[in-house]
Homo-oligomer: A and B are copies of this chain.
């Protein structure tokens, strides 16, 4: 990797971490430069301006594709096992890296969503191992299209975590556990009832 490419990569990585932690306007070019171990003016040898950096970071780190990759690692002999494992993995990943979705929030609030389409165009099509696996277990499922199934799963996990943020650490018993939430999802997806 040439020196130039390496520096560019350092800038993008530094910017990613800062945008995720402090948002776009909260991350200065000087801070981005410092983490990349250069001076602020040198950034302009690689990028035209701050927003161009954000656009490239967002394209490279769009969280949707990260979540689909996590799904691909799930395993299981039956549909119920596969789905449960997939949900566990999503939950674990989002809990250990809660800022995974921050980049998207920043894009939505500060950028008005204007880079989303370009990021989608750059990353599609995505070959999903998970969808192929669950497709092979079709007989165990209700008649639901695969993408709808994937949405339901990501949605359930996502909603669990968001909801936990919403209510803070208070009253977890009152509001239920994520296991209870997963149960609702499985009942909605599987052809036969799961053990509960």
Residues of A within 8 A of B (CB): 20-26, 62-64, 102, 104-106, 108-110, 113, 116-117, 120-121, 124, 142, 144-145, 147-149, 151-152, 154-156, 158-160, 162-163, 165-171, 174-176, 180-181, 183-189
Contact = CB atoms under 8 A, between A and B. Distances in A.
A145 B168 CA distance: 20
Could you say how many copies of this chain the assembly holds? Answer: 2
Nearest to A106: B109
A181 B163 contact: no
B180 A188 contact: no
A21 B109 CA distance: 6
Given A145-B176, A148-B181, A176-B148, A186 B188 contact: yes
Contact of A175 (B20, B151, B156): B151
9 contacts: A22-B25, A117-B168, A124-B171, A152-B181, A155-B158, A155-B159, A184-B185, A186-B188, A187-B187
